[in-house]
Amino acid sequence: MAQKLNIILITSPELSDFRKRLKNLESRDGQALFTTLYRSWCHNAVSLVTLCLLAQAYEHASNLLALFGELEITLQLLVQIDKLVQLIESPVFTSLRLQLLEPDRHPYLFKCLYGLLMILPQSSAFVSLSRRLGAVGSMGVQQTPQRASGAEP
């Protein structure tokens, strides 16, 4: 059930405003919404990671992925992770992909995505995610120096 609700949450255009509320974890409304959904989503590991990624709770998602090492990695789990990688490439996760350009601000996002990569066997989802992460690294984003506040451009 959590899987189906997760797919509906991610793919339904009608839930765009709902997803925006979920991304605002600084507000009480966003926190309450996240907590409410969390109680249902926690029955499926990949759905829960997806919810955390959508809510930009990257540190928590990273901690959850670390626990995947204790799970039995079944074909069903791998298929769900494959679908998550496909969803990450969808318009709903555009802001997540753009946050890859700011690794200093979102270190746990990188840890999450690399965690997913390490779980996946070498498949089309592996190649897709690997290319995405490689594209960010090849741009030299991680070596981009931060400008001092008073420095001239």
Q: Regarding predicted confidence, which is higher, 137 or 147?
A: 137
Percent of the chain with pLDDT over 90: 74
Residue 150 confidence (pLDDT) above 80: no
By three-state DSSP, how is residue 55 classified? coil
- Per-residue confidence band for 141, with pLDDT thresholds at 50, 70 and 90: very low
- Per-residue confidence band for 138, with pLDDT thresholds at 50, 70 and 90: low
The confidence score (pLDDT) of residue 152 equals: 47
The confidence score (pLDDT) of residue 1 equals: 83
How much is the mean pLDDT over the chain?
89
Q: Residue 94, Cα to own-chain centre: how many angstroms?
A: 11
The confidence score (pLDDT) of residue 76 equals: 94
Nearest CA to 100 out of 91, 113, 84, 117 is that of 113
- Per-residue confidence band for 145, with pLDDT thresholds at 50, 70 and 90: very low
Read off the DSSP letter of residue 24: -
Locate the domains of the chain by residue range. Answer: 2-56+63-138
CB atoms within 10 A of CB 146: 7
C-alpha distance from residue 111 to each of 101, 108, 139 (Å): 14, 5, 18
Q: Quick one: CA dihedral 93, 95, 98, 101, positive or negative?
A: negative
Q: pLDDT digit string (tens) for 16-67? A: 999 999 998 989 999 999 999 999 999 999 999 999 999 999 999 999 999 9
Cα 50 to Cα 81: distance, rounded to the nearest angstrom: 9
- Per-residue confidence band for 151, with pLDDT thresholds at 50, 70 and 90: very low
The confidence score (pLDDT) of residue 136 equals: 84
By three-state DSSP, how is residue 42 classified? coil
Q: Residue 29, Cα to own-chain centre: how many angstroms?
A: 21
Q: pLDDT digit string (tens) for 72-125? A: 999 999 999 999 999 999 999 999 999 999 999 999 999 999 999 999 988 889
